[in-house]
Chains A and B, each alone.
Chain A
């Protein structure tokens, strides 16, 4: 259903907020930064259009804006220092490799990645974006995205015992019940 931006904002602020916050926490690693990130992403996404095809589409815009704003935030030196301090060095995550396969492991492992690697793999696995789409969403070159994806997935494979590749998904399907 087509919705105006403020209608979408009302629904996102109430019903979809936990999901948006969860996405942001995965990227940031802490709730306070994640709350700021969601607020920035809401403004960034909703100012682009006055109406959306649906609330789900508006949410999709916001989810991608969370990743792009996250990248923007770490582009500034001060923010980078702040966020890097929150990044857990792989050598300081002793239980990651030892308890492969749980969600906690993924969250911890994700925080060992540099911000750009983290944003790229999140958009690949959570939204099913291709390399090109990821590049568009984050304002990066395709070549850079390929590099970040490759490095990020390689690091996650090493930590979690998976064997994924950075190949583009051949048929991007959004999960049932996910964002449309």
Chain B
């Protein structure tokens, strides 16, 4: 006679088989995605106030700089001003060399909910090259039960963190996704209030968006960086795992090279009981990055603390070869979300094994070396670290909060030179906002110029 346990197993298995190959319909997926995104974006005013208090305390008592790892800041943190000065007019003298001037208005939006910045000039535009970034910015905060939005501005940001306003985009929230350095257009997604998001191409001079066919991700949807340092996005309709988006807005499904059989090879390489591995990101054309975690650890059962419980492994499937880049034993924390950035492999590290990561590290030869800037209190509650792009040895990354408790806070964007100990803050934590208007969102998108 079967017990109820076996009968339940059978019944659930039958019900699952009856469901066949059903998927959540695309329109329902959109509804779920929008509801969850808004829930994350609009946390209570109380939580926002708590964050503001934390920022004040940090601002009063913490000195930026080398706290854990000896980083050196190459660019001063841009100071925030509640009353930015009016713009200087664009340079009257066109630059003979460099990029053609697209005809930017050269204006500067004045608002307490924007970071300090300058107006774009012909000289600045002429100096743009790969490694400069586009950053779309709109602060959101909660006033009582109502969500409020500040102005949306797209900034051109130098690798050292100098910000220049390109265009003020009224209306719907826009997130820049991809941009070719020097181009007057960029691929974006648009998030209208109450309607589904859509993909488009933003005219950086006029602020107009031309809709295009395709998927409309936003900054949280970066899965990893490809071999060129461009973000690859998590697909949102269940039909494509990953999507690559070009600066002109065209989209293509992305498959991680050298992924076939890589997870099984990593499992064999580690040789640990109960280990579970999955291909996490590309490495190059011949190898991929595999992330492993021991099943026992994830289940909270007793394990040998001396064993590796989290690992990042480089695997060459064609050669059935694997190299352990970094492994973490039970009492040393964790590693997750590996990606390539130029010639480096980086991943989230630190924190207790069953908690969230607190650090971002270069992973190599069994060691984790902190990405420059990590540990410098750039974000008061940072526990989520995400790659946003890379050019050469410079990684652009973001840090925000919400891993454990879901507290939504603005994203701080940082450039770190992995070949040195230098870093620059591209967008700092928004301090000094009017009382009761402390934002829980700011940066809506980052596109590192290729």
Among A17, A51, A126, point to the contact of B403 (Cβ < 8 A).
A51
Verify A106–B10 contact, CB threshold 8 A: yes
With a 10 A CB-CB cut-off, give which of A22, A25, A42 has the most chain B CB atoms: A22
Verify A39–B28 contact, CB threshold 8 A: yes
Verify B8–A126 contact, CB threshold 8 A: yes
Verify B8–A125 contact, CB threshold 8 A: yes
Among A5, A43, A49, A121, point to the contact of B404 (Cβ < 8 A).
A49
Min distance, Cβ A38 to any Cβ of chain B, angstroms: 7
Residues 243-258 of B contacting A (Cβ, < 8 Å):
none
Q: Which residues of B contact A150 (CB under 8 A)?
A: none
Residues 1-34 of B contacting A (Cβ, < 8 Å):
1-5, 7-24, 28-29, 31-33
Q: Which residues of B contact A160 (CB under 8 A)?
A: 4, 7
- Of all chain A residues, the one with the shortest Cβ separation from B29 is A13
- Given that A26-B12, A125-B4, A164-B4 are known contacts, is A4 also in contact with B32, CB under 8 Å in the complex? no
Verify B40–A50 contact, CB threshold 8 A: yes
A18 at interface, CB cutoff 8 A = yes
A101 vs B384: C-alpha distance when bound (angstroms): 48
Min distance, Cβ B274 to any Cβ of chain A, angstroms: 10
Min distance, Cβ B69 to any Cβ of chain A, angstroms: 22
Verify A13–B23 contact, CB threshold 8 A: yes
Q: Which residues of B contact A53 (CB under 8 A)?
A: 298, 354
- Of all chain B residues, the one with the shortest Cβ separation from A164 is B4
Verify B293–A1 contact, CB threshold 8 A: yes
Q: Which residues of B contact A2 (CB under 8 A)?
A: 334, 336-337, 348, 356-357
- Given that A43-B36, A162-B7 are known contacts, is A14 also in contact with B23, CB under 8 Å in the complex? yes
Residues 331-368 of B contacting A (Cβ, < 8 Å):
334, 336-337, 348, 354, 356-357
Residues 1-54 of A contacting B (Cβ, < 8 Å):
1-2, 4-7, 9-10, 12-14, 17-19, 21-23, 25-26, 35, 38-39, 42-43, 46-51, 53-54
B239 at interface, CB cutoff 8 A = yes
Verify B32–A42 contact, CB threshold 8 A: yes
Among B18, B40, B356, point to the contact of A25 (Cβ < 8 A).
B18
Residues 133-180 of A contacting B (Cβ, < 8 Å):
153, 156-157, 160-162, 164, 174-175, 180
Q: How many residues of B contact A (CB 8 A)?
A: 64
Residues 107-131 of A contacting B (Cβ, < 8 Å):
107, 110, 121-122, 125-126
Min distance, Cβ B308 to any Cβ of chain A, angstroms: 15
Among A5, A26, A56, A106, point to the contact of B40 (Cβ < 8 A).
A5
A105 at interface, CB cutoff 8 A = yes
Q: Which residues of A contact B22 (CB under 8 A)?
A: 17-18, 21
Verify A101–B7 contact, CB threshold 8 A: yes
- Of all chain A residues, the one with the shortest Cβ separation from B35 is A43
Verify B36–A9 contact, CB threshold 8 A: yes
A57 vs B298: C-alpha distance when bound (angstroms): 9
Verify A122–B8 contact, CB threshold 8 A: yes
Verify A46–B36 contact, CB threshold 8 A: yes
Verify A51–B384 contact, CB threshold 8 A: yes
Q: Which residues of B contact A85 (CB under 8 A)?
A: none
Q: Which of B122-130, B230-238, B412-420 contacts A (4 or more CB under 8 A)?
A: B230-238
Q: List 5 A-B contacts (CB under 8 A).
A: A19-B19, A21-B15, A39-B24, A125-B5, A164-B3
Q: Return the 5 tightest CB-CB contacts between A and B, nearest first.
A: A14-B238, A22-B15, A22-B16, A103-B10, A13-B24
Beyond A1-B336, A10-B237, list 11 extra A-B contacts (CB 8 Å): A1-B280, A5-B36, A9-B32, A13-B29, A26-B12, A42-B36, A101-B1, A103-B13, A104-B11, A106-B10, A107-B11
